[in-house]
A and B are shown apart, each in its own frame.
Chain A
Amino acid sequence: MRALTRVGWFFAILFGLSAPFWLSGYRLYQFSQVLIYAIALLGLNLLTGFNGQISLGHGAFFAIGGYGAAILIVKLGLPYWVAIPAASVVCFIAGFLFGFPALRLGGLYLALATFALAVATPQLLAYKGFDALTGGSQGLQVLKPTAPFGWPLNVDQWTFLICLASTGTLFVLARNLLNGRVGRALIAIRDHPIAAEAMGIDAALYKTICFGISAFYAGVAGGLDAVAVGFVAPESFGLPLSLAFLVGIVVGGLASIGGALFGALFIEFVPNYADQLTVFLGENAKALPGAIYGVLMIVMMAIAPTGVAGLVRSMVRMMRSSGRT
């Protein structure tokens, strides 16, 4: 099992490192998006899958990261490698602060509050009072990053490599965090908060910090998204984005690290391929991603609550046990 997981990761990394040299520009852009979504999904999974705090509003933190980075780059002239981390730290603080009311809400009410946050986000981003900073409903144009030191890489290749490096780093960090004391504490709080507190876990502290870290991940993803797309606008950060994240972690697998990659592939390519079916289905193709999302969410909950990652895991287990007999 361990070995197979390793082989899987090996091929994923091999694919990632070689992709810039054999994938075309647009494909590469799509895979950059996959990596970006993977970071956001991992962040959401930290919070919802591992810690049991339901967020239907992670698009808002994604938006803070994206807008934060865009504003720092466009208005202050900072380079992207300063702007994105800085915006992500802002996101951490925002998430940490949101974590305090979240402590009081819990469960369903937290889902409701974050749902409200997701719905209200585009309006807040387009608010006239911040026009000078955010560009209002027009949004902001961001210069795409170019490779340093005269390396012979075009914009798409370089963007992809930045995303790959960020995703790799953040996945390793998340793995280390979750496989240790902190991870066990987060899971204990999810499964039995009272028992966890009795074991001496400071649930309030862990939950707020978890919210902060989760928002940090969403912020990194948002910042990368801003430079990868080269544009931020209010309408792209609404409820559909937040719900797509939820779909991603459900499909990929709740409380699974590798699942974030499956989920990201899913939410990037399903709408994309559905769009291509417009030729056959006409306008009706627009309904396709929603239909697939909805049906799959319910089916997943019924037959595979652990998502694709869980299915892979149990398949490996089945293969091993049948091999042994």
Chain B
Amino acid sequence: MLELQHQLASGLALGGVYAITALALVMIFQATQLLNFAQGEMAMFSTYLAWTFINNGWNYWSAFAATLALSFVGGVLIQRFIVRPFAHAPVLASVIIFIGLSFIFNALAGFLFGYSVQSFDSPFDGPPWFGNKFMSASESGSVLVSLAVLVLVFAFFRYTPLGLAMRAAAQNPTSARLVGVRVGSMLALGWGLAAAIGAVAGMMAAPIVYLDPNMMGGILLYAFAGAVLGGIDNPWGAVLGGFLVGVAENLLGAYVVGEEVKLSVALVVIIAVLVAKPSGLFGRRIVARV
């Protein structure tokens, strides 16, 4: 029984990472109907930035803040210079652009920081919190940070004028433009936020999966599975989906399919949901006019 609770706990910790990555994916999808296949590599690169700061003697939280800021700027620049020129390109072109971006970030990380695996300490160490027997401090911390990100993002979109403008730009660009929302800037802002949120995911993942240029490959896939499961146009659904996938992955990996084929859990979830109920658990059904 103890073993099961441990699996659940580490599932939740990883699920938090998937949930925030999924949230980043959903933010870009909502605004532009594009799947950012480069999200994982962007997060990985941000994590390397944090690692560099920490290695230069910064304390964890200032490195964390600096990384978020840099990632935000990076996301805005990517939107401005690489994504926007292709705004009206066909789907295939967008997929190719994002795959190209992920190649670039992967190569850049390898070039700048090397390909050897680095350890990345969790900011939360010491004894488990709240006398919790099943979760290490770093796992609790990771879940807590995930939840904090979710609350902040929710509050931003729900209670600030800027958040409202961004939602308007995503939902109805034409009308938003008519009432004076700068849709282009909102999209760039969305990319910046997504990059920053992804950076949090990367920094939470690195203590668990260790830091190397390919660390996000599996995580991105699980995040996609989570986003699809919850509904790719619904942030709450995607977050819940991320947690569900994290727990399911750990439990199935430990008790049913075995550790070696865990990734196929994500494959099965993605295909099954897309075929059976493409809108996911909480997504809106898409009705297209022909």
> Interface on A for B, CB 8 Å cutoff?
48, 52, 54, 56, 101, 104-105, 107-109, 111-113, 115-117, 119-120, 123-124, 126-128, 194, 239, 243, 246-247, 250, 254, 283-284, 286-291, 293-298, 300-302, 305
B264's closest neighbor in chain A, by CB? Answer: A120
B230 CB, min distance to chain A CBs, angstroms: 14
User: A108, A116, A124 — which one has the most chain B CB atoms within 10 A of its CB?
Assistant: A116
* Contact A294/B91 with A119-B267, A128-B260 known, Cβ cut-off 8 Å: no
Instruction: Give the complex CA separation of A206 and B106 in angstroms.
Output: 37
B273 CB, min distance to chain A CBs, angstroms: 10
* Contact A123/B264 with A128-B258, A283-B114 known, Cβ cut-off 8 Å: yes
A103 CB, min distance to chain B CBs, angstroms: 10
Q: Which residues of chain A are within 8 angstroms of B224 by Cβ–Cβ distance?
A: 112, 115-116
Interface 9-residue window, one of B65-73, B95-103, B233-241: B95-103
* Contact across chains for A286 and B264 when beta carbons are under 8 A apart: no
> Interface on B for A, CB 8 Å cutoff?
33-35, 37, 82, 85-86, 89, 91-93, 95-97, 99-108, 110-111, 114-115, 217-218, 221, 224-225, 228, 258, 260-264, 266-267, 270-271, 274-275, 278, 290
Q: Which residues of chain A are within 8 angstroms of B82 by Cβ–Cβ distance?
A: 298
Q: Which residues of chain B are within 8 angstroms of A104 by Cβ–Cβ distance?
A: 274-275, 278
Instruction: Give the complex CA separation of A283 and B113 in angstroms.
Output: 11
Contact of B271 among A48, A116, A119, A296 (CB under 8 A): A116
Nearest 5 interchain pairs by C-beta: A294-B103, A297-B100, A290-B107, A294-B104, A291-B107
A contact face: mostly helix, strand, loop, or mixed: helix
B contact face: mostly helix, strand, loop, or mixed: helix
B262's closest neighbor in chain A, by CB? Answer: A123
* Contact across chains for B221 and A295 when beta carbons are under 8 A apart: no
* Contact A124/B103 with A108-B95, A115-B221 known, Cβ cut-off 8 Å: no
A-B contacts, 18 listed (Cβ < 8 Å): A108-B35, A112-B224, A115-B37, A116-B270, A119-B218, A120-B263, A243-B103, A246-B96, A288-B107, A294-B101, A294-B103, A296-B100, A297-B97, A298-B104, A300-B96, A301-B89, A301-B96, A302-B86
Instruction: Give the complex CA separation of A239 and B34 in angstroms.
Output: 20
* Contact across chains for B267 and A116 when beta carbons are under 8 A apart: yes
Instruction: Give the complex CA separation of A120 and B217 in angstroms.
Output: 11
Q: Which residues of chain A are within 8 angstroms of B271 by Cβ–Cβ distance?
A: 101, 113, 116
